[in-house]
Amino acid sequence: MSKVYQWFQSRPRVIAAGFLLVLLIGLIGYLSGPVLSFGLFYLAPVILVSWLVGGQGGVIIAVSCGLAWFIADISWPLSFSQPWTYYFNLVSRTLSFVLVALLVAQMKLLTGNLEKNVELRTSELQTEIAERRRTELKWREREELFRQLAENINEVFWMTTADRKQAIYISPGYERIWGHTCASLLQSPGSWMASIHPEDRARVERALAQDQSDQYNVEYRITRPDGSIRWIRDRGFPIHGPEGRIYRIAGIAEDITEPKLTELALLEISDREQARIGQDLHDGLCQLLVSIGFDCNLLEQRLQSAQRPEQADLARIGMLLDDAITQARQLARGLYPVRLEAEGLTSALEELAANVTTRFKIKCDLRRSDAVSVADNTMATQLYRIAQEAVNNAVRHSQAVHIVIRLIRRNGNIELVVRDDGIGIPAQRNGGGMGLHIMDYRARTLGGTLHIEHMNGGGTAISCSVPLPSGAAPVA
């Protein structure tokens, strides 16, 4: 079979075979006479040669077929009314054969191009299929890695639409932390907001209502189906599409209950220890200094009666002792503000301002455009400690000559603002010191926020805004 195929690959051989076939058909046609017509058989060598070697070879065979048929016609004893009939038949038959040869050659060319295109497209499809399989395998591997990551970490991965009305994905950690199924959240996105503690819900809604182009970071409490409370830190990030528009929001939520409770316990211990030290100073050191002061006064009176020159030195020592007693009492009140529990936050802040003015010779005022009374002692204590730390920062770092403390009620929140006219707080400019972090943490424990702002005219304003509790009421 291969030898036959190779034989037909030779152009001269194919044309020679075509001539032989034409001679054979012409001979048979001549021998059969005009009774039998073999004209249709001349198409066989025309089609064969045109298909195998192309249009040129086909035209040669087509002309030879026309001539062979013409020779057979003139060899037969036929008579036509017109002598040119033989030549007309020669031309028409030859043109017909040539047309068939050209059509077959063109068909072969089109068939060859089609086969090439089919082979090329088949190769492209095979390459595309192989590439898709490789891509699909990579995606499956990545999906498997993501699934393993999502199912084995404690954090919750989530993704929503840009308007946050539809949940797209929620990782299995949601079921461990929230106590609800992922399917329930995907079916009812509003169940997430319903699980947030009522006291934190409004603050979370405000955080979500901010500009979508900004990231958000919010802490809140959730209530599990069993009634237990968990602390959550939730962070969201906008996802931009090809056109630069936000089309999804992704984020991660983690359970911070244990560290949160630990921090609260440490803060409570710190406050309690400060109160204990303040009480010890007031009841121990201050009383001892007062007793020494009485003894000093008695000794001064005796020296004065005896007209001894040491009386003047003892009087000076008594004055220094009085200053020490005053400073010890102010320090004790700062560590343990008795008026905070007895008379409330406003009175404690008034005493703080008065002590700063007396002790550091810096004018410090408390301004109350709309005073409030906080029934929650924990909230009052935290706000007082924030004000105390802010004032101490201003005294130590800002070189201020005037400090203003403001306690107001605005939009359902309590706002505490400490503003100075100094050069600012270096710790804040360098990224924040421990005092600023503690103030921020105290604000967050109350469900509030802390902002630090450098004023255009100089100075720094530290403001804390916390939701107004049900126990807060205006003061006449």
- The CA angle 419-421-426, to the nearest 5 degrees, is 85
CA 170 to chain centre: 14
- DSSP assignment, residue 469? P
- For 273-303, write each residue's pLDDT tens digit: 776 776 666 667 767 777 777 777 777 777 7
Residue 70 CB contacts under 8 Å (≥ 6 apart), including other chains: 86, 89, 90, 93
Domain boundary pick from 76, 104, 124 = 124
Strand, coil or helix: 473? strand
Q: Is residue 224 part of a domain?
A: yes
Strand, coil or helix: 162? coil
Query: Into how many domains does the chain fold?
Result: 3
Cβ neighbours around 275 below 10 Å, total: 16
Whether residues 325 and 263 share a domain: the answer is: yes
Give the CATH number, domain containing residue 247.
3.30.450.20
pLDDT of residue 433: 63
Q: Is residue 143 part of a domain?
A: no
Whether residues 46 and 31 share a domain: the answer is: yes
**Which among 236, 244, 230 is positioned nearest to 214, based on CA atoms?**
236
Rounded Cα distance between 367 and 349, Å, is: 10
- DSSP assignment, residue 42? G
Contact between 321 and 292 (Cβ < 8 Å)? yes
Residue 44 has pLDDT above 70, yes or no: yes
Whether residues 271 and 225 share a domain: the answer is: no
Residue 167: domain span = 153-255
Q: What's the CA dihedral at 51, 52, 58, 62 to 10 degrees?
A: -80
Only one residue has tokens 């949160």, namely: 260
Predicted TM-score (pTM) of this structure: 0.51
Whether residues 117 and 20 share a domain: the answer is: yes
Whether residues 162 and 215 share a domain: the answer is: yes
Whether residues 9 and 117 share a domain: the answer is: yes
- For 57-108, write each residue's pLDDT tens digit: 878 888 888 787 777 777 766 666 667 776 777 788 788 888 888 888 888 8
